[in-house]
Amino acid sequence: MSSQATLEKIVSLCKRRGFVYPSADIYGGINGVYDLGHLGTLMKHNIRNTWMQSIQTDLGDIIFMEGALLGPEAVWQASGHIENFHDPMVDCMQCKKRYRADDIDLEKACPHCGNTEWTDIKQFNMMFKTNLGAAGSAIAYLRPETAQAIFVNFKNVMSTNRVKIPFGIAQIGKAFRNEITPKQFLFRMREFEQMEMEFFCRPENTGKFFEAWQKIRFDFYQKIGVNQSNLRLRPHEKDELAHYSSQCVDVEYQFPFGWKELEGIADRGNFDLSQHIKHSGKDLSVHDEATKESFVPHVVECSVGVDRLFLTLLFDAYTEDDVEGEVRTVLKLHPKIAPIKAAFLPLSKKISEPMLKLFNEVKKQTGLQLMFDESGSIGKRYRRQDEIGTPVCFTYDFDSETDSSVTVRDRDSLKQERISMDQVERYVKDLLKEG
């Protein structure tokens, strides 16, 4: 995390520049729920794409799917969520403020009013419950994690994709948790998005894949530009483990509010498939032709929140430079993550036409998100692009009229060089090359 980044600065930049808005803003918002603007939508799309690429390795096939957001009660009974998906809740006896009991020290006074008397701790189920149809007799829940759709579809996926163990099923989609205290902007939301991959393997290979995925997932964050010094892997203590997992390691990021989980990598054993076998009465085991035996595969899960990663990337990229005595706010986002890849800026409106033509041509040829901006001083336009993390700006000036070249300005080093206009398309494509 850059030392200048604070939650307030990130929230303000997100709203000012159209990354993220509080949902239902004109009605005062809704706690823990957010909407994305143009730049936020583009950036989130880039995050999903990089994740989908990163999850495909030589460890085994990865099959993608998208499950429904509503799940019948039976699914959540089998998964253990109805019984176990609780957070401990406590209220201050004086000001009635509500806290997650594991978030505060009950030996100390209420941080809000200073009172020291607390209610008993109650367990609060975090799932959103709803009723289906006009009679409303069937109960359903908005899913609190995407993973169950993967386990429930295990047989469908295996029989329609000709895959063999080991292989993974991956999914990106919304999850809903009625968090007691949504906070820290996109860090703890009530409606959020997860990217989850369940890797199915033979029981004796779980340890090997658990190790391998830790390395792959840790390396992913570095590849998309996250500072290594802000990342660490932290194994869970036994008393922290979720009801379904026997071992778990978190990829943690150093936020301004401390080291926190970014991604969980868990050994879920065969808990979920076994539960669904028991509750549905269906056979979800696999048959090994070589050994002629059937077994219920074990699972290594990699699970990260898109929004939490979005926030992480903003914190990590946010920088305030001193440029000739002025503060420059810049998001040093990896080009693959940056919502806009390049800006096209004619120095004066009088000579905007050739630049507009180049912009449209490069946009058409590359299919990438680019921006054309001709209003305001060139310094102001550079600052606007820096603040949204655009890696390069091309400027067309009066010399361009005769030498058919433009100036390229690099966002991070501020270096400028001249390149021929017919090189611009290649230059933009090269920004996204591996390596």
Smallest distance from ligand ATP to CB 182, Å: 7
Burial class (CB in 10 A: 0-12, 13-18, 19+), 313: buried
Residues of span 268-287 touching ligand ATP by CB under 6 A: none
Residue from 35, 179, 321, 374 that binds ligand ATP (CB under 6 A)?
Answer: 179
192 contacts ligand ATP (rule: CB under 6 A):
yes
Tokens for 249? 């390691």
Residue from 91, 198, 307, 386 that binds ligand ATP (CB under 6 A)?
Answer: 307
Give the helix ranges, DSSP H, for 2-63.
Answer: 7-16, 38-54
Read off the amino acid at residue 72: P
308 contacts ligand ATP (rule: CB under 6 A):
yes
Give the helix ranges, DSSP H, for 224-351.
Answer: 271-280, 306-317
Measured from the CB atom, the residue of 128 and 372 that comes closer to ligand ATP is 128
Q: What's the full length of the chain, in residues?
A: 435
Residue from 305, 335, 339, 346 that binds ligand ATP (CB under 6 A)?
Answer: 305
Element at 378 (helix H, strand E): helix 378-387
244 contacts ligand ATP (rule: CB under 6 A):
no
171 contacts ligand ATP (rule: CB under 6 A):
no
**Rounded Cα gap, residues 36 and 44, in angstroms:** 9
Q: Supply the DSSP symbol for 361.
A: H
Q: What is the signed CA dihedral for 143, 261, 254, 15, rounded to 10 degrees? A: 0
Residues 6+ apart with CB under 8 A from 328: 320, 321, 322, 383, 386
264 contacts ligand ATP (rule: CB under 6 A):
yes
89 contacts ligand ATP (rule: CB under 6 A):
no
Which part of the chain contacts ligand ATP (CB under 6 A), choosing from 1-9, 186-194, 317-325, 376-384? 186-194
217 contacts ligand ATP (rule: CB under 6 A):
no
Which part of the chain contacts ligand ATP (CB under 6 A), choosing from 113-121, 188-196, 350-358, 399-407? 188-196
Q: Which residues bind ligand ATP (CB under 6 A)?
A: 145, 177, 179, 188-189, 192, 194, 261-264, 303-305, 307-308
